Amino acid sequence: MTDHSHHRDIRTFGRRDGRPLSSRQKHLFETLMPKVALPTEDALDFHTLFGDQRDVWLEIGFGGGEHLIRTARQNRNVGIIGAEPFIEGVAKALTGLDEHNLSNVRLHADDIRLVLPHFPGDSLKRVFILFPDPWPKRRQQKRRLIQPDFLDELARIMAPGATLRFATDVKSYADEALWQIQRCGHFDWLAEKASDWRDDPEDHEPTRYQLKKLGDCEPVWLEFTRRTNQAI
């Protein structure tokens, strides 16, 4: 098995700490987080994790949790795993879980690459990577999440026919991600016309980052399916 630990040493995200947590957020970290935290020590069993044989989706880098919470509310029969290293974002997600009484979400408050090897193969039905840290400067681009080793591992844990949605508002990242994902050979791009990558998907909940419009282009939406005729 290839040792990918050196790739994990390269951080794909910026800061982890933000403003001090409120007393309520601290309380939720103490009381709710232990109940919804994704186990990190052993191989994951999704049936045990969610208590039944439901479909499982993954959102990588959920930011403030806007998309994560809305998706969980609209798909209560689906198990959703959210990963976000920014502690303030995790606190906001915990607040959303508490306010909406959501029991179908598990959270990982760290780098998703640390736990992907524990995921069972061919198991995820949807993956969302929405507006990840763009690292726009050329010398920073090695920190971008979409890299060959990461895509290989992602393909391993996605079920054949599962969908991957990637979005960014940085043109160089859109170009690179499309090239990397097509080049890896595990996914088929679903776009048939320009509106497929220009328009927000109907089921998308705008994120706080997206609404700030900090990038250099309008959002680019890249939707793929995991190929069904390939063993990973």
Question: Which pLDDT value is given to residue 154?
Answer: 97
Position 32 in a domain: no
Residue 166 lies in a domain: yes
The model's pLDDT over 3-51, given as tens digits with 9 standing for 90+, comes to 444 444 555 444 455 578 899 999 999 999 999 999 988 899 999 999 9
Catalytic, 169? Answer: no
- State the pLDDT at residue 230: 63
Q: Which CA distances in Å does 91 have to 47, 131, 191, 198?
A: 26, 19, 35, 31
Judge contact between 14 and 133, C-beta under 8 A.
yes
Q: Is 21 inside a domain boundary?
A: no
Considering the candidates 133, 152, 175, 196, report the single residue annotated as catalytic. 133
Q: Please give the residue that has the higher pLDDT: either 13 or 165.
A: 165
The predicted structure's pLDDT at residue 9: 56
Asked whether residue 22 is assigned to any structural domain, the reply reads no
Q: Which of 156, 200, 196, 202 is nearest to 178 (CA)?
A: 196
How many domains is the chain built from? 1
Domain carrying residue 146: 44-226
Q: What is the pLDDT of residue 231?
A: 61
* 215 within domain boundaries: yes
Q: Count of CB atoms within 10 A of residue 55's CB? A: 17
- Judge whether 53 lies within some domain: yes
Mean pLDDT within 197-218: 90
Tens-place pLDDT, residues 96-154: 999 999 999 999 999 999 999 999 999 999 999 999 998 777 777 788 999 999 999 99
Assign residue 129 the CATH number of its domain. Answer: 3.40.50.150
Dihedral of alpha carbons 144, 127, 115, 119, sign: negative
Residue 19: what pLDDT? 72
Mean pLDDT across the chain: 90
State the pLDDT at residue 41: 80
Residue 13 lies in a domain: no
> Does residue 188 lie within any of the structural domains?
yes
Task: Supply the pTM of this predicted model.
Answer: 0.89
According to the model, what pLDDT value does residue 206 have?
Answer: 86
